[in-house]
Chains A and B, each alone.
Chain A
Amino acid sequence: MSLLPLAAPAALFLSALLFLTEGALASRKAPSLRKIHLPLFSLLLLLSLVPLLFSAPESLFHGQFLWDSLSRCSGLLLGFSALSAMLLLPGYSRKSEVPGAETAALLFLGNLALLLLSSTTHLLTALLALEAFSFITVLLGGILRDRRSSEGAMKTFFLGLTASLFSLFGLALLFGATGKADIASLVSLSPSPLLKAGLLLFLFSFLFKFAMAPLHSWAPDLYQVAPAPLGAYLSTAPKVGIALFLLRLSPALTPLLPFLGAFVIVTVLWGNLCALRQEDLRRLAAYSSVAHSGYMALALLLPSPFRGNALLFYLTVYVIMNLSLFQALSLLPEGPELSPSLENLKGWGKDEPWIAGFLAFALLSLAGFPPTPGFLAKAILFLPALEKGLFLPVGAALLGTLISVAAYFRLFAPIYFSSGSTLKGGDRRGRALLALSSLLLLVLTLWPKGLTLLIKEVFSHV
């Protein structure tokens, strides 16, 4: 057992400690983001990625953790998401209320928890990692500490607590039925009713954090009150960690596929329907991310080689396009009682043609319009699903896609068809980041084969 694979989590943890110390030592009066935070954060994050990328695949702690290329993907996507959040903060309209050091520390801890979640093969470790992340969710979501963000954080906390109680109870049942709690032995056992019930209850917390309807109600509240840059993180990073863990768990989920299918159907329909009637942009984005969770969960119903390919492709594309969306939204001004609504987008097309263009591209991709990567991701997902005969979930997903087009296109009317801009100045860094995400989407549009090859490479080492 080499210690190299441990270097990445250790680096993440130490960085978090460093920032926490810095935050504790800094003066109480000005908690805001300081110049030093950003370069330090980026440097430390990149440093933590180095051992992650260059260590050989390995199994650690008696197989509790699998340090393979899937974990590496997870680390990269999580890093991109956290970096994007941190880079957006200086341009954020309420940056003076966001404590920079604590945010950085929480982002590091969040990445650590999710990295462990996506690398573990043991249900107990997974649950602990998820719980750790759910605390971080609450703290990041409520970091502004005004009335609304405290409300969002409180709701998320108590709902999450309930969900995790169910999961823990499920784990107890699983353990009682089998005496084991690692994925490999769950797969090898024949499913008893107790095992099934335990597994289903165990999944509760994961589906909750993954924002699958009807367990999604926290997501719109939290995304609405979280600062937009942190919303970008909270809507992408947990999906990465949880999706990849569910992918590892998926061989054991075979007896639960009908339940998962039902969750998928409800999620894609309900998420998109709710997105259709939102005026608040961040609630709209939240419901869109709920719906996308449904599509990703559909990938879990597929047979083996397709499952991973479709899920990883969708996940990567989702992270990029959703970050684009939130990067654009974080250019909008916010206040304690004000979160940006459709009205605030008026006149973007004329005054900010580039920003509007990038946002439009991300929206088209989210809506799954060909030839954007969002479409390819759906095609790669629906094709094997149809071959496997999953007509009901695919039908629901297609219907959901149709509804989502209506939902996303509601943004085009204010952007392009009316005038009057509320966007002033804005931050260069945020714009550059948005341009970068759009560029990535464009590359994926023109050369999707690159990503499929990469994914093939990933699974050849798992």
Chain B
Amino acid sequence: MRGHALLFLLAFPFFAAALVLLFPQKRRSLTILLSFLLSLLPFGAALRLFFLFPEGSTAPFREISLPWLDPGVSFHLAVDSLSLPLILLTTLLLPITLLASWKSPGEGIKGFLSSLFLLEGALLGVFLSQNALLFYLFWEAVLIPMYFLIGKWGGERRTGAARKFLLYTMAGSVPLLAGILWSFSLYGRGSFEIALWTSAPLLPAALQKILFLLFLSAFAVKLPLFPFHTWLPDAHTEAPTAGSVFLAAVLLKMGVYGFLRLAVPLFPEAVLSFRPALIALALIGVVYGALTAFAQEDMKRLVAYSSVSHMGLIFLGLLTLTPEGYVGGLLQSVNHGLSTGALFLCVGLLYERTHTRLQREYGGTAKAMPAFNLLFLVFLLSSAGLPGLNGFTGEFPIFWALFLKSPWLAGAALTGTVVGAVYLLSLYKRVMTGPEKSLESGTRLLDLSPRELLLLLPLLLLVVWIGLYPSLLTKKMAPPSYIAPFLKEYRLPGGIR
């Protein structure tokens, strides 16, 4: 069966997580190097899947289904055009974050590496599962390694942040479990197969609404949608660099994925009826996130709040339920993963040198670290949405979709991007330009080492590549067959498109 590639992709991280524990404790560099090499294997497998995936395909690819549990829980895996980019992103980030962890976690490096592999495995499980209960199982499994990454290897207030992260996500996912179990009985097919549910006739509108709210609570916390975002700044700030990267780049996308994979196809009428409220919340998130980010002194907090703003924009794009909004939202999900991940890595690199994340402690860093300067600037601009870099290619279709729906909406969302450009550039100005602060304190900042260059270069390459040639991804991102019927094209009056 050809689906064995998926089985390998899913099982290997768990295997590697166990294998890492056998590595020598004393020889830290060797352990990290070996796990780096191990982490390349799933990336290679994902890359191969990406190249084999037929362009414009809307069907599940490389399906594999093994019986597992009664009633109706099978180990059913598949890739489709929705999960493919996210899988690629997840597997790409693991080797990079492993390289980035060369110095940072002081002790218990094996547990740290093992947790990262477990996290990768659980995330891949979420994106690959075609069975609702299996999906939930991996959805929850993501929590545990992340909880330990924050709580054990995080910053000073790590225990509280880990607890908050756990409670918020659990508070979201318990209703999700209720929703999944209830859907099982409502669809009455004795199975948790998502494909069976999506092909069944739609539920009555009232039920759809209740179930949608149950499902949404999990996705809204992960996304995060405006009032449910308060766990995010704490978790991002306290997590170690690798944890922050995964949180921002992939964990938040679980919300996007869940919304598109389950909520839209199963409860389209509920989505439509709640859409105005959701749009309002997402819009508040865009503006509020941007304004709060502007006020942050801690660089990690700044990037974290910028995530709230960007994720709001992505969700806005998806909520238009248009092909443009869909492609823009999904592409921007990947872009946000790349650029925000890169920003967290950059902040982490600075922090390793100076042990502070406060902007006022920096200044004139560009002179001391010219190579870093260039990379940091590119990532900031990509996050700000400069044309020619990847951020623009995602934001543009989103704004186009919003504009077609309502120019006012597009205008309001645009303020978020404008403020975004302001705070990102002001971050650059305060940290990189001006008189060299590090000279005053007597420590000389070292520029990027080859290892650090190696971990940032792939991201740079992708940021530029997607910026110039987005079809690299978009040609394999056609809306899958379970979403396509619910995407409606808007046309401008007068037939202009």
Determine whether A and B are in direct contact in the complex, meaning some CB atoms lie less than 8 angstroms apart: yes
Known: A402-B171, A417-B158. A370 touches B136 (CB 8 A): yes
Report the bound CA distance from A406 to B167 in whole Å.
Answer: 7
- Distance from A314 Cβ to chain B, minimum over Cβ atoms (Å): 15
Report the bound CA distance from A350 to B107 in whole Å.
Answer: 10
Of A6-14, A245-253, A393-401, A422-430, the one with at least 4 CB within 8 A of chain B: A393-401
* B147 within 8 Å of A (CB atoms): yes
* A382 within 8 Å of B (CB atoms): yes
Q: Which of A350, A375, A383, A401 contacts B184 (CB 8 A)?
A: A383
- Evaluate contact between B159 and A409: CB separation under 8 angstroms: no
- Distance from A410 Cβ to chain B, minimum over Cβ atoms (Å): 8
- Distance from A56 Cβ to chain B, minimum over Cβ atoms (Å): 29
- Evaluate contact between A409 and B166: CB separation under 8 angstroms: yes
Q: Which one of B140, B163, B167 has the greatest number of beta carbons of chain A within 10 Å? A: B140
Which residue on B lies nearest to A406, using beta carbons? B167
- Evaluate contact between A413 and B181: CB separation under 8 angstroms: no
- Evaluate contact between B170 and A416: CB separation under 8 angstroms: no
Q: Which of B140, B159, B167, B182 contacts A370 (CB 8 A)?
A: B140
- Evaluate contact between B133 and A379: CB separation under 8 angstroms: yes
- Evaluate contact between B151 and A398: CB separation under 8 angstroms: no
Q: Which of A371, A375, A382, A449 contacts B70 (CB 8 A)?
A: A449
Which residue on B lies nearest to A378, using beta carbons? B177
- Evaluate contact between A398 and B177: CB separation under 8 angstroms: yes
* A263 within 8 Å of B (CB atoms): no
Known: A409-B147, A417-B158, A452-B70. A398 touches B178 (CB 8 A): yes
Report the bound CA distance from A161 to B181 in whole Å.
Answer: 42
- Evaluate contact between B141 and A398: CB separation under 8 angstroms: no
- Evaluate contact between B174 and A413: CB separation under 8 angstroms: no
CB-CB under 8 A from A369, the residues of chain B are 140-141, 143-144
- A234-276: CB near B (< 8 Å → 1, else 0) gives 0000000000000000000000000000000000000000000
Which of B226-279 touch A at CB < 8 Å? none
Which of A289-327 touch B at CB < 8 Å? none
- Distance from B128 Cβ to chain A, minimum over Cβ atoms (Å): 15
- Distance from A11 Cβ to chain B, minimum over Cβ atoms (Å): 37
* B219 within 8 Å of A (CB atoms): no
- Distance from B204 Cβ to chain A, minimum over Cβ atoms (Å): 16
- Distance from A423 Cβ to chain B, minimum over Cβ atoms (Å): 18
* B212 within 8 Å of A (CB atoms): no
CB-CB under 8 A from A399, the residues of chain B are 174
- Distance from B70 Cβ to chain A, minimum over Cβ atoms (Å): 6
* A387 within 8 Å of B (CB atoms): yes
Report the bound CA distance from A412 to B152 in whole Å.
Answer: 10
CB-CB under 8 A from B61, the residues of chain A are none
- Evaluate contact between B181 and A383: CB separation under 8 angstroms: yes
Report the bound CA distance from A394 to B179 in whole Å.
Answer: 12
CB-CB under 8 A from B178, the residues of chain A are 382, 386, 394-395, 398
Report the bound CA distance from A405 to B163 in whole Å.
Answer: 10
- Distance from B75 Cβ to chain A, minimum over Cβ atoms (Å): 11
Which of B119-173 touch A at CB < 8 Å? 133, 136-137, 140-141, 143-144, 147-148, 151-152, 158-159, 162-163, 166-167, 170-171
Q: Which of B141, B158, B162, B182 contacts A386 (CB 8 A)?
A: B182
CB-CB under 8 A from B143, the residues of chain A are 369
- A356-398: CB near B (< 8 Å → 1, else 0) gives 0000000010000111000110010011001100000011001
Report the bound CA distance from A394 to B178 in whole Å.
Answer: 8
* A57 within 8 Å of B (CB atoms): no
CB-CB under 8 A from A364, the residues of chain B are 144
Known: A398-B175, A409-B166. A417 touches B152 (CB 8 A): yes
* A448 within 8 Å of B (CB atoms): yes
Known: A398-B174, A398-B175. A382 touches B181 (CB 8 A): yes
Q: Which of A386, A395, A405, A416 contacts B148 (CB 8 A)?
A: A416
Q: Which of B69, B148, B174, B175 contacts A449 (CB 8 A)?
A: B69
Which of B199-244 touch A at CB < 8 Å? none
CB-CB under 8 A from A416, the residues of chain B are 148, 151-152
CB-CB under 8 A from A405, the residues of chain B are 166-167, 170
- Distance from B36 Cβ to chain A, minimum over Cβ atoms (Å): 24
Known: A364-B144, A369-B140, A369-B144. A402 touches B70 (CB 8 A): no
Q: Which of B136, B137, B159, B185 contacts A383 (CB 8 A)?
A: B185
Report the bound CA distance from A350 to B174 in whole Å.
Answer: 31
Report the bound CA distance from A238 to B152 in whole Å.
Answer: 38
CB-CB under 8 A from A401, the residues of chain B are 174
- Evaluate contact between B182 and A371: CB separation under 8 angstroms: no
Which residue on B lies nearest to A360, using beta carbons? B144
* B108 within 8 Å of A (CB atoms): yes
- Evaluate contact between A350 and B108: CB separation under 8 angstroms: yes
CB-CB under 8 A from A376, the residues of chain B are 69
Report the bound CA distance from A417 to B111 in whole Å.
Answer: 12
Q: Which of A350, A394, A412, A452 contacts B151 (CB 8 A)?
A: A412
Q: Which one of B162, B163, B177 has the greatest number of beta carbons of chain A within 10 Å? A: B177
Report the bound CA distance from A402 to B170 in whole Å.
Answer: 6
CB-CB under 8 A from A417, the residues of chain B are 151-152, 158-159, 162
- Evaluate contact between A371 and B174: CB separation under 8 angstroms: no
- Evaluate contact between A370 and B181: CB separation under 8 angstroms: no
- Distance from B63 Cβ to chain A, minimum over Cβ atoms (Å): 21
Q: Which one of B136, B167, B170 has the greatest number of beta carbons of chain A within 10 Å? A: B170
- Evaluate contact between A413 and B151: CB separation under 8 angstroms: yes
Report the bound CA distance from A383 to B144 in whole Å.
Answer: 24
Report the bound CA distance from A412 to B111 in whole Å.
Answer: 15
- Evaluate contact between B174 and A402: CB separation under 8 angstroms: yes
Which of A180-225 touch B at CB < 8 Å? none
CB-CB under 8 A from A449, the residues of chain B are 69-70
Q: Which of B136, B158, B163, B174 contacts A409 (CB 8 A)?
A: B163
CB-CB under 8 A from B182, the residues of chain A are 386
CB-CB under 8 A from A413, the residues of chain B are 151, 159, 162-163
Report the bound CA distance from A445 to B213 in whole Å.
Answer: 30
CB-CB under 8 A from B174, the residues of chain A are 398-399, 401-402
Which residue on A lies nearest to B68, using beta carbons? A449
Which residue on A lies nearest to B160, using beta carbons? A413
Which residue on B lies nearest to A389, using beta carbons? B185
CB-CB under 8 A from B144, the residues of chain A are 364, 369
- B174-195: CB near A (< 8 Å → 1, else 0) gives 1101100110110000000000
CB-CB under 8 A from A402, the residues of chain B are 170-171, 174
Which of B465-484 touch A at CB < 8 Å? none
- Distance from A411 Cβ to chain B, minimum over Cβ atoms (Å): 12
Which of A93-122 touch B at CB < 8 Å? none
Report the bound CA distance from A347 to B158 in whole Å.
Answer: 16
CB-CB under 8 A from A382, the residues of chain B are 177-178, 181
- Evaluate contact between B141 and A371: CB separation under 8 angstroms: yes
Q: Which one of A371, A398, A448 has the greatest number of beta carbons of chain B within 10 Å? A: A371
Chain B interface residues toward A at CB < 8 A? 69-70, 108, 133, 136-137, 140-141, 143-144, 147-148, 151-152, 158-159, 162-163, 166-167, 170-171, 174-175, 177-178, 181-182, 184-185
List 30 A–B pairs whose Cβ atoms lie within 8 Å, in order of A's numbering. Answer: A350-B108, A364-B144, A369-B140, A369-B141, A370-B136, A370-B141, A371-B137, A379-B181, A386-B178, A386-B184, A387-B185, A398-B178, A402-B171, A402-B174, A405-B166, A405-B170, A406-B166, A406-B167, A406-B170, A409-B163, A409-B166, A412-B148, A412-B151, A413-B159, A413-B163, A416-B152, A417-B151, A417-B152, A417-B158, A448-B69
Contacts A349-B152, A405-B166, A449-B69 aside, 18 further interface pairs with beta carbons under 8 A come to A369-B140, A376-B69, A379-B133, A386-B178, A386-B184, A386-B185, A394-B178, A398-B174, A398-B175, A399-B174, A401-B174, A402-B171, A405-B170, A406-B163, A406-B167, A409-B147, A412-B147, A416-B151
Instruction: Give 3 nearest A-B pairs by CB, closest first.
Output: A370-B137, A387-B185, A402-B174
